Structure 1
Amino acid sequence: MNNKRNLVAAFTMAAAVAVAALPQAHAEQLTVPVGSQADRSLVKMPANGMTGGSVQSRWGAPMEIRGPVGQPPITQWHYQDFVVYLEHDRVIHAVMKRRK
């Protein structure tokens, strides 16, 4: 019985040493100063669910169109201040472009 305890203790110690020897993972925290964050209230953007026709009638033709890509097809419409993401013909997201 004593040998069994010693054997279990030895295996436990070996496992602890092996885990301690593994490389440590580190995460980096990215912070963006408040002054450089975009203020979404300054730019009117299309709402989710709008049709592509509605977007074009209000904001005009996009400066650039990328896609469609993937399944379901996702298309990007690039305007001066924002990018609109459409799935088929519906807006699924609009994001402000980073100011330079």
Structure 2
Amino acid sequence: MLKFKPFVSTIAIAAALASAAAFQTAHADSLLMKRVQQEQGMDLPKKGMSMADVERRYGAPVSKLDPRGGGSKQQPVINRWEYPGYIVYFERSHVVHTVLNTPAGNNTNPGQTR
């Protein structure tokens, strides 16, 4: 019977880890849904707007971050403009996405992302 105890412990640990991972995934999904709902209720630059349209409607950005990509047709230049509370991503010169800065972390200091 002693032979099976380590195996039983391993199963218990694996089950606990799987349960924790499922909880984290559900929590992350919930946060993402709240973020999307929040974004939809705000007046943010919309997909397809030109840089000139964004600047005309929302004013000058706090900063224009260094462009990324542009190495090929499949990897066009991505420009990022930082506004208070959100970042606008442009493919070449048109908006592809606007993302809120969140205290959760992945978008609070985009200038350091490489």
Q: Post-superposition, which runs of at least 4 consecutive aligned residues in structure 1 deviate over 6 A?
A: none
Q: TM-score, normalised by structure 2?
A: 0.55
**Are 1:49 and 2:53 an aligned pair?**
no
- Shift of the alpha carbon at 1:99? 4.8
CA distance in 2, matches of 1:66, 1:97: 15
Report how many aligned residue pairs link the two structures: 74
Give 2:54's aligned amino acid. V
Assess if the C-alpha contact under 8 Å between 1:84 and 1:91 holds in 2: yes
- Shift of the alpha carbon at 1:41? 3.6
The higher-RCO structure (CA 8 Å, 6+ apart) is: 1
More helix by proportion, 1 or 2? 2
- Shift of the alpha carbon at 1:46? 0.8
Mind listing any 5+ residue stretches in structure 1 that lack a counterpart? 1-23
Assess if the C-alpha contact under 8 Å between 1:73 and 1:88 holds in 2: yes
* Structure with max Cα Rg: 1
Assess if the C-alpha contact under 8 Å between 1:66 and 1:77 holds in 2: yes
Mind listing any 5+ residue stretches in structure 2 that lack a counterpart? 1-13, 71-75, 105-114
Q: TM-score, normalised by structure 1?
A: 0.62
Deviations 1:75-98 (A, max 9, x none): 111101211000111001111111
